[in-house]
Amino acid sequence: MTPEDLRFLLVGAGLFILGAIGFLTRRNLILMVLSAELMMHGVSMTLVTFGRIHQTQEGQIFTIFTLTVAACEAGLALALVLSLYRKSHSLDIQLWSELREPDMPAPVQDAPARIDDGSGSYGDTPKLTPAGIVPKDPPRTKSSAGASSART
Partner 1 sequence: MMDWLQAHPMTVVGLVLWAVGVLWLMPGKQAGSTRPKIPGLLLTAAGLFAFCLSCGKPQTQLADEVMFWVFAVSALLCGVLMITARNPVYAALWFALATLATCGLFLLQSAPFLAAATIIVYAGAVIVTFLFVIMLAQQSGAAGYDQKSGQSVMATISAFILLGAVAMTLQQEKLEIGVPVVVAKAKETNAAVAPSPPNMSAMMQASGSGSPAGLPTAPADAPEEKPAVPGNLLSSADPDHAVGDLKGLGRSLFSDYLFAVELAGTLLLVASIGAIALAPRREQGAL
* SS3 call for 67: helix
Residue 81 is a binding residue for partner 1 (CB under 8 A) = yes
Q: How many residues does the chain have?
A: 152
Task: Output the smallest distance, CB 134 to partner 1, in A.
Answer: 28
118: alpha, beta or left? (left if phi > 0; alpha if psi -120 to 50): left
20 binds partner 1 (CB under 8 A): yes
Residue 58, interface with partner 1 (CB under 8 A)? yes
Judged by CB under 8 A, the stretch of 71-79, 98-106, 123-131, 132-140 that binds partner 1 is: 71-79
Could you say whether residue 65 binds partner 1 (CB under 8 A)? Answer: yes
Q: Are 147 and 118 in contact (CB under 8 A)?
A: yes
For the CB of residue 137, give the shortest distance to partner 1 in the complex, in Å.
21
102, 103, 114, 125: which one binds partner 1 (CB under 8 A): 114
Q: Does 31 bind partner 1 (CB under 8 A)?
A: yes
Q: The dihedral of CA 78, 83, 84, 86: what is its sign? A: positive
Q: Which of 100, 107, 140, 141 binds partner 1 (CB under 8 A)?
A: 107
Q: Which long-range contacts (CB under 8 A, 24 or more apart) does 47-56 make?
A: 48/8, 49/5, 49/8, 49/9, 49/12, 52/5, 53/1, 53/5
* Residue type present at position 110: D
Contact status: 124 vs partner 1 (CB under 8 A)? no
Q: Least distance to partner 1 from the beta carbon of 130, Å? A: 27
Is position 50 an interface residue for partner 1 (rule: CB under 8 A)? yes
Choose which of 99, 104, 106, 111 interacts with partner 1 (CB under 8 A): 111
Sequence-ordered list of residues with C-beta below 8 angstroms from that of 30, at least 6 positions apart, any chain: 78, 81, 91
**Closer residue to partner 1 (CB): 80 or 140:** 80
